[in-house]
Amino acid sequence: MPQLRARKAAPAHGSGKKRGLAPSPSSALAPLPPSSPALAPARPPNNGSWARAGSSLLFFSKGEPAGELGTGLWEEDLGAGLIERRTADGETSRDGRFAWHWVRIQSVRRTRTDSVLASTSTLNYYGTSGKVLWTQEDADAPAESVPAILSDNGETILAFSRKGRAWMLTVYSFTGNPRMELSLGERVTHAQLSPNGRFAFAAWSMQDGPLRLSFLDIELSERRDIPVQDLPLSRLRVFDDGTLRADGRILLKP
């Protein structure tokens, strides 16, 4: 489990040996000092619970702050034009029972255009014990999305990864069991999960191909690909009954 302290994200370029570098990942939450300000979830569960506060994911045990996971960007100058870049992101389920935390570590040669020499990434999924329930080692984040998306209760998770040049989307249960896996294109522009976790969609395209939308009925393990043109993807929504709407217009209704 990454042990990251919340700090202000560093700029991508600048001088100095270290800029916001986080400690190396470890197997335990970073404890909060007694003076750390933290707001507990409005209705914490009987066991542990999670909340997002600024650049941190906070874990509460019996309503008291017990640890944190940081998010942001850190860099370390290794000399000879090399840097180590760490990117961390995360989110909690709406009810506070679950949280995901993702860390990508890149070795970068700094030139006019940065070259990534090596990259590793890990997605950890946490429950009310504050411990990792499962891990996806190759999880990654599309340029216009995040590495994982949760249902409101956190029991269904969409996670992205790379396979060659194509993006993969895997649907997991909260126990880490894969329920669906699908191959998308080279670019993912938008994805969403219905609040109840039954339906989802991802908008994607090949390098020079038209935009397509993959609609998922997770309960039935069904996928439907739909060509789309001139759709306002930022206003595209999938609802609990599977209705897909854009600007109030129904595009699909199972």
What range does the domain containing 15 cover?
1-88+101-134
85 vs 8 pLDDT, higher one:
85
pTM comes to 0.80
Residue 195 resides in a domain: yes
Most confidently modeled range among 7-21, 152-166, 219-233: 152-166
User: Which residues are 168's β-sheet partners?
Assistant: 161, 183
Contact (CB, 8 A) for 232 and 244: no
Residues 36 and 105 in one domain: yes
Mean pLDDT along residues 187-192: 90
Query: How many separate domains does the chain show?
Result: 2
Report residue 231's pLDDT band, with 50, 70 and 90 as the boundaries.
Answer: low
159 vs 15 pLDDT, higher one:
159
Residues 68 and 166 in one domain: no
DSSP tag of 169? E
Residues 4 and 54 in one domain: yes
Residues 182 and 121 in one domain: no
Residues 149 and 198 in one domain: yes
Residues 151 and 243 in one domain: yes
Residues 107 and 162 in one domain: no
pLDDT (tens digit, 9 = 90+) per residue, 49-100? 999 988 899 999 988 889 999 999 999 989 888 999 999 999 999 999 999 9
Residue 2's region, left for phi above 0, alpha for psi from -120 to 50, else beta, is: beta
Q: Provide the token pair at 117.
A: 């020499």
Residues 161 and 222 in one domain: yes
